[in-house]
Amino acid sequence: MQNSSDNLIDRYQIVKTLGQGSFGKVKLAYHLATNSKVALKIINRSTLVKTDMQGRVEREISYLRLLRHRHIIKLYEVIKNKQEIIMVMEFAGKELFDHIVQQGRLQEDEARKYFQQIISAVQYCHRHKIVHRDLKPENLLLDEHMDIKIADFGLSNIMTDGNFLKTSCGSPNYAAPEVISGRLYAGPEVDVWSCGVILYVMLVGRLPFDEESIPDLFYRISNAIYTIPDFVSPGARHLLKRMLVVNPLDRIIVDQIIQDSWFKKNLPIDLFPEISNDEDDGEIDEGVVNYLSEQLGYSKDDLVKIMQNRLSGVDAANVEEIKDAYRLAKDSMNSDNVSSLDEYMNRKSIEIREHEKSRKHHGNGDPSHSQHLSNIAIQKHGIPSAYPFDSTHLGPQGNSVDSTISILPQSLTPYHLAFMQKRGVEITKKRSPVTAKKSKIRWHFGIRSRSYPLDVMGEIYHALKTLGAEWLPPTTDDIWTIYVRWKKITDPANGRPAIKETVKMRIQLYQLEQNNYLVDFKFDGFENDNESKHDVDDTFSSYPFLRMATRLIMELAVNSQS
């Protein structure tokens, strides 16, 4: 078997590309040690909403690793490198909707079986405060036993971060009215609506809301204008009508669906296990604590304190987040639903984690193995913050259900283009590029050179001489650093007096790689007229230094041309 390194990521042999998901490419691969099939979801970091969210995104993905349910695609592990975040996931080969298309529409019993499995998975996630928000055909898969596997649970929370509407503009057929009207709060009710659409599609074989033009489609969804064909049984019809309700507060909730008589028919007993309420039994599972501290970077002290409800000295904003994570981890660790790859991962990931840990702490010599919570908070935003506010696995936290703040759908560019087109205006290509930020300017510090290093030093001395600068004689143990002093009297301008200044600069030649050198200029403080020396810390103004560097660079450029 040949392993071309191109097709090898970590310990996975890539077979082929399966498709382009909402967040990046999905590839089929084999895990080399167990020969299990996996799907690799490769997320390019540059597609993440904001760079300052990367830390949070990584933590959220780690949290998703804790999800364990037989009808949810498992996330085995997360591989991170500079460019990408690679999610190693359970593989399921078939899409539910290909199956429906083949059959035309499904018989009620078969549709109910899938629907029960979907609701079971959705209930499990909602209980752990994870809302899918983007349930649609691409995310509903069938495994080899023709059982449902839902993909991408929790991902829309992380990736779109309140700007959900923008991404769903392409295919909003499954989106709830409050979503397309731009409401920024998207709770569990949103998934109920989408499940209603999915049930409709399984039973009827077509979409309940399907219009060519986006404004028309939005209109029909916002007013729940759809018809149910006569062949749908009264029981199913009743449930559909309870799910596809415009007002989210009037819509049936998951726990009521489970009590519905059409739903309960042929319900496997083990699909909705009794929830044991053992979180308050006071006993703390050390295994879970270790796992969370290693996986999510919480401090063990904080974890134990919080689970014992000793909240003094603990950041209150984290309490709920940590409790959720604890319950979820405990749940998933008790789960008997384990594959050979699972077992392998459980053994293996400990080694890997140990490895990552030693690497992370190398250098600062910190023996305590987890970052403190407050540190994480500061890393998350560019702006210094006193406490970590946004923990998104809870959905947009703090934004209450009754908030009606929305993004006006008509103001979004795709909608506006459709609107103008309807009024007979042609769409030209003359639009601004997607983001101005994408055309990044490359910054170089210092000057790069491929010349022989001694020649470079010679040129620098020559330029300094031309500028009238002075320098200390080079020492024998470091001939690559020059200490320079430059006295300059600026010309009096517009009635302002001339300014005398003496800037000091340190010039150093570095080797970047073979035959490639960098001349670095470093500000070395000021000297003023009465010869008393100043520390660099005393001064702020970088202009005299920049001016000097500019003159020097210009001089060097002139020399190199002649």
Partner 1 sequence: MSDVADQEKLALQAIRAFLATKTCYDVLPVSFKLVMLDSTLSLKGALLTLLQNGVVSAPIWDSVQCQFTGLLTANDFVNALRFYENQPKLLDELNTLKLEDLSRVEEEIGATKIENYNVSPHLSLNEAYKYLIKARTHRVALVDEDPTSKRKIVVSVLTQYRLLRFVALNCKETQMMKTAIGDLGLGTYSNIVTTTMDTSLTEVVRQLSNIGVSALPVVDDQYRLLNMYEQFDVLGLVKANGHGDLRMTVGEALMRRPEDFPGVHTCRLTDTLSDIMEIVRRTRLLRLFVVDEEGKLKGIITLSDILRYICTV
Query: Three-state SS for 480?
Result: coil
Burial category of 32 from C-beta neighbours within 10 Å (exposed 0-12, middle 13-18, buried 19 and up): middle
Q: Is 360 annotated as a binding residue?
A: no
C-beta of residue 416 within 8 angstroms of C-beta of residue 410: yes
For position 439 contacting partner 1 by CB under 8 A, the verdict is yes
Q: How far is the CB of 534 from partner 1 (least distance, A)?
A: 6
Q: How far is the CB of 60 from partner 1 (least distance, A)?
A: 15
What distance in Å separates the CA atoms of residue 139 and residue 21, rounded to the nearest whole number?
9
Site for partner 1, residues 459 to 518, rule: CB under 8 A: 493-494, 496, 499, 501
For position 79 contacting partner 1 by CB under 8 A, the verdict is no
* Residue among 45 and 241 whose Cβ is closer to partner 1: 45
Q: With residue 94 as reference, give the H or E element that holds it.
A: strand 94-95
* Residue among 230 and 531 whose Cβ is closer to partner 1: 531
What is the greatest pairwise CA distance in the chain? 99
Q: How far is the CB of 298 from partner 1 (least distance, A)?
A: 20
Q: How far is the CB of 215 from partner 1 (least distance, A)?
A: 12
For position 530 contacting partner 1 by CB under 8 A, the verdict is no
Q: How far is the CB of 411 from partner 1 (least distance, A)?
A: 4
What distance in Å separates the CA atoms of residue 402 and residue 77, rounded to the nearest whole number?
37
For position 427 contacting partner 1 by CB under 8 A, the verdict is yes
Site for partner 1, residues 166 to 205, rule: CB under 8 A: 166, 182, 184
Residues 6+ positions from 40 with CB-CB distance below 8 Å: 9, 12, 14, 26, 27, 28, 29, 86, 87, 88, 89
The number of CA neighbours under 13 Å toward the Cβ of 109 is: 2
C-beta of residue 507 within 8 angstroms of C-beta of residue 521: yes
Q: Is the dihedral of CA 110, 112, 117, 118 positive or negative?
A: positive
Q: How far is the CB of 522 from partner 1 (least distance, A)?
A: 18
Among 249, 269, 405, 498, binds partner 1 (CB under 8 A): 405
Region from 20-28, 231-239, 342-350, 408-416 binding partner 1, contact rule CB under 8 A: 408-416
Q: Does residue 6 have an active-site annotation? A: no
Site for partner 1, residues 285 to 304, rule: CB under 8 A: none
Among 38, 165, 186, 482, binds partner 1 (CB under 8 A): 165
Q: With residue 526 as reference, give the H or E element that holds it.
A: strand 516-527
Region from 117-125, 223-231, 264-272, 389-397 binding partner 1, contact rule CB under 8 A: 389-397
* Residue among 163 and 560 whose Cβ is closer to partner 1: 163
* Residue among 23 and 91 whose Cβ is closer to partner 1: 23
Residues 6+ positions from 310 with CB-CB distance below 8 Å: none
For position 450 contacting partner 1 by CB under 8 A, the verdict is no
Site for partner 1, residues 369 to 388, rule: CB under 8 A: 381-387
Among 154, 196, 396, 446, binds partner 1 (CB under 8 A): 396
Residues 6+ positions from 32 with CB-CB distance below 8 Å: 11, 12, 13
Q: How far is the CB of 501 from partner 1 (least distance, A)?
A: 6
Region from 11-19, 155-163, 245-253, 321-329 binding partner 1, contact rule CB under 8 A: 155-163
* Residue among 69 and 380 whose Cβ is closer to partner 1: 380
For position 312 contacting partner 1 by CB under 8 A, the verdict is no
- Which residue has 């969804």 as its token pair? 221
* Residue among 322 and 418 whose Cβ is closer to partner 1: 418
C-beta of residue 134 within 8 angstroms of C-beta of residue 140: no
Region from 133-141, 160-168, 238-246, 553-561 binding partner 1, contact rule CB under 8 A: 160-168
C-beta of residue 556 within 8 angstroms of C-beta of residue 446: no
Give CB contacts under 8 A, 24+ apart, made by 531-540: none
Among 416, 422, 448, 462, binds partner 1 (CB under 8 A): 416
Six token digits for residue 264:
């309960």
For position 12 contacting partner 1 by CB under 8 A, the verdict is no
Q: How far is the CB of 156 from partner 1 (least distance, A)?
A: 15
Burial category of 472 from C-beta neighbours within 10 Å (exposed 0-12, middle 13-18, buried 19 and up): exposed
What distance in Å separates the CA atoms of residue 486 and residue 468, rounded to the nearest whole number?
7
Count interface residues toward partner 1 (CB under 8 A): 67
For position 249 contacting partner 1 by CB under 8 A, the verdict is no
The number of CA neighbours under 13 Å toward the Cβ of 15 is: 12
CB count in 10 Å sphere of residue 7: 14
DSSP 8-class letter at 313: T
For position 444 contacting partner 1 by CB under 8 A, the verdict is no
C-beta of residue 393 within 8 angstroms of C-beta of residue 322: no
How far CA 46 is from CA of 23, 84, 377, 538, 560, in Å, comes to 11, 8, 22, 39, 38
Residue ranges for the known binding site for ATP are 41
Residue ranges for the known binding site are 41
Positions marked catalytic: 134
Which residues make up the interface to partner 1 (CB under 8 A)? 161-163, 165-166, 182, 184, 317, 381-387, 389-390, 396, 398-400, 402-414, 416-417, 419-420, 423, 425, 427-428, 430-437, 439, 441, 493-494, 496, 499, 501, 526, 528, 534, 538-544
